Structure 1
Amino acid sequence: MKVKDYAADHIFSFICLIVSGLLVFGLLWLIEIPIVFIFFVEGILFMAFLCAFLYDYLRRRKFYNQLWEILERLEEKTLIGEILVQPGFLDGQILDEILRRCNKYQNDRVADAKQDSQEYREYLDSWVHEIKTPIAAARLIVENNKNPATLRIDDELRRIDGFVEQVLYYARSAAVEKDFKVERTTLQALVNSALKTYSKPLIQAGGRPVFNGLDVPVCADTKSCAFVIGQIISNSIKYHAENLQVSFSAYTEQNAVRLLISDNGIGISSSDLPRVFDKGFTGDNGRKYSKSTGIGLYLCKKLCNKMNMEITIQSDLGQGTTVILFFPQESYLQEAGL
């Protein structure tokens, strides 16, 4: 708070002080009080009012400067009411009480929202597990009654199962780290786990997997990583060209292991590439292929961020796509608390 701002805010009080001083001076002059005594009285009154204004300005400046300083340093701005020291002047106390009540209201709203979100996630978890039962039963019926029609039904059931998995991970994405179980495994095991789900559609698309040096140990959450790799394989199948080939290669670096998943599909345009991880973004390919949802890569990016992994994409239109997953070394994961 600046002196000029305080003076401008109290301009009416200063005017009243000046007018009062002139009235006192005039009254004392009319009753023929000696001029020296008049100036002495006026001086005392002026010093008293000056000290009062100065004291009020200093305590207000201390409070508001502290308020701004705390606000600038505080990450959670809504907590300012809990941290602020109660001031000694009335309007500051009113402001402090308002901030505390607003903070309590905000905390209550956040708690309610968290509770609603938790109940929603629990419901979706239950729904996913419940719906997987009839899907598994339907696929078993198809397996025992194979014909062209049931095989097509099996393909659709597989798609439904994939969407159900997306729903599950999407619902858990806000607090997915609570479900992490980091363990030692190999890239080959992670890829094999993902291929179990997508081996049939990969074969139907005329594709084949190619492996190169995947016998590399990593520390990862196997379920989440298998889901991420599965989404990448699914995209390779969805946007495949003739003679589809999906290759998996591993490279070891000082602080990480890289898994490269490459295909020879239709590729991604340079204008779409920076946005492929955006939620709901489908791009030019998505407009050509109605099966696109724009959720798969978004979930991959979100899961990788939660696991302290990195995911990047390189692609040229008509030349295929390469997705690179960076698995941090075990020491880095320990530092991150995973």
Structure 2
Amino acid sequence: MKLSEYLLDRIFSLICMLVAALVLLALLWLIETPAVFILFAEVILLAAYSTALLYDFFRKQSFYNLLQKMTEQLDIKTLLGELMVPPHFLEGQILVDVLRCCNKYQNDQLACAEQENREYREYLDSWVHEIKTPITSARLIVENEKNPTTLRIDDELRKIDAYVEQVLYYARSTDVEKDFKVEKTTLQALVYAALKTYSKPLIQAGGKLVLKELDIPVAADSKSCTFVIGQILSNAIKYRKDSLQVEFSARAEKNTVSLFISDNGIGISAADLPRVFDKGFTGENGRRYSKSTGIGLYLSQRLCRKMNISLSISSVPGQGTTVTMVFPTESYLQAAGL
């Protein structure tokens, strides 16, 4: 708070004081009071008012400056009222009381919302595990009764299973790190696990796989990484051209290991590329393929950030897309205390 701002806010009081001083001057002059006494009275009046004004300014300035500083520094703004010490003037005391009342109400509302959100996620988690049982049973029935019709049913069940898995990761996306288990593995093991899940769609799409030197050790959560690679494979299959080819390659550096997943599909336009990780974004390709949800890459990016893995995409329309996953090495993780 600046002095000029404070005086501008007190402009009515200043005008009243000036009018009072002029009225006093006129009255003393009318009763023929000596000029020295008039001057003395005016000086006392103005000095007393100025002293009170400056005292009020400095105590309020220190309080409001501290309030602004704490507001800027606090990450959790709703704690502001609890941390503020009530000042020695009435306006500040009322403000602190109001802040505390508002903060308490907001904290109660946040706690209630978090509880409801937690219960909703727990229900989704439970529902996903429950729904997987009939899906698995149905696929076993199909396996025992193979014919063209049941095989088509199996394809649809596989898609349902993939969407259910996506729901599970979405429900856990806010605190998914609690389910992480970082362990030693290799890029080859992660890729093979994802390929096992998507082997049938790849075969049906007539896909050709090229795997280059993937036996490189990394430290990561295998389950989450398999899901991310699976989403990339799913997109490669969905946005393929006539002859699908997916290439996996890797490069080891000092503190990182990079996994490159390239396909020869329809690619992504330059306008859509910066937004592919946005929630619900489908872009030009999504308008051409109605089954696009815009959730897979969003979840993949969110998972990778939790795992300290960099996920990026480059693409040339009509030629293909390359997805890069950059893993921190085990030694780098240990040095960081992870």
Q: Which runs of 5+ in 1 are unaligned?
A: none
Encode CA deviations 1:198-246: one digit per residue, 9 max, x unaligned: 1111111111322111111100001000000111111111122233222
Preserved contact between residue 276 and residue 297 of structure 1 (Cα < 8 Å): yes
Relative to 1, partners in 2 of residues 1:334 and 1:120: Cα closer, same or farther, differing over 3 Å? Answer: farther
Scaled by the length of structure 1, what TM-score is found? Answer: 0.94
Scaled by the length of structure 2, what TM-score is found? Answer: 0.94
Q: Which amino acid aligns with 1:53?
A: L
User: Equivalent residue of 1:267, what SS?
Assistant: coil
C-alpha displacement at 1:33, in angstroms? 4.5
C-alpha displacement at 1:32, in angstroms? 5.1
Preserved contact between residue 308 and residue 333 of structure 1 (Cα < 8 Å): no
Q: Which amino acid aligns with 2:128?
A: V
Alignment match, 2:254: 254
Alignment match, 2:244: 244
Relative to 1, partners in 2 of residues 1:42 and 1:266: Cα closer, same or farther, differing over 3 Å? Answer: closer
Answer with 270-279 or 169-178: which moved more: 270-279
Cα distance in 1 between the residues matched to 2:334 and 2:106: 35
Cα distance in 2 between the residues matched to 1:300 and 1:42: 76
Cα distance in 2 between the residues matched to 1:22 and 1:284: 76
Encode CA deviations 1:149-208: one digit per residue, 9 max, x unaligned: 000000000000000011010111111111111000111111111112111111111113
Q: Which amino acid aligns with 1:210?
A: V
Relative to 1, partners in 2 of residues 1:4 and 1:243: Cα closer, same or farther, differing over 3 Å? Answer: closer
Alignment match, 1:154: 154
Preserved contact between residue 186 and residue 218 of structure 1 (Cα < 8 Å): yes
Answer with 140-149 or 193-202: which moved more: 193-202
C-alpha displacement at 1:16, in angstroms? 2.4
Cα distance in 2 between the residues matched to 1:241 and 1:34: 105
Q: Is structure 2 residue 20 aligned with structure 1 residue 20?
A: yes
Relative to 1, partners in 2 of residues 1:26 and 1:321: Cα closer, same or farther, differing over 3 Å? Answer: closer
Answer with 144-153 or 101-110: which moved more: 101-110
Q: Is structure 2 residue 304 aligned with structure 1 residue 304?
A: yes
Answer with 17-26 or 119-128: which moved more: 17-26
Q: Is structure 2 residue 156 aligned with structure 1 residue 135?
A: no
Alignment match, 1:329: 329
Q: Which runs of 5+ in 2 are unaligned?
A: none
CA RMSD of aligned residues (A): 1.8
Cα distance in 2 between the residues matched to 1:34 and 1:320: 99
Relative to 1, partners in 2 of residues 1:119 and 1:39: Cα closer, same or farther, differing over 3 Å? Answer: same
Answer with 117-126 or 92-101: which moved more: 92-101
User: Equivalent residue of 2:106, what SS?
Assistant: helix
Cα distance in 2 between the residues matched to 1:311 and 1:40: 79
Alignment match, 1:178: 178
Alignment match, 1:73: 73
Preserved contact between residue 25 and residue 42 of structure 1 (Cα < 8 Å): yes
Cα distance in 1 between the residues matched to 2:117 and 2:277: 24
Aligned pair count reads 338
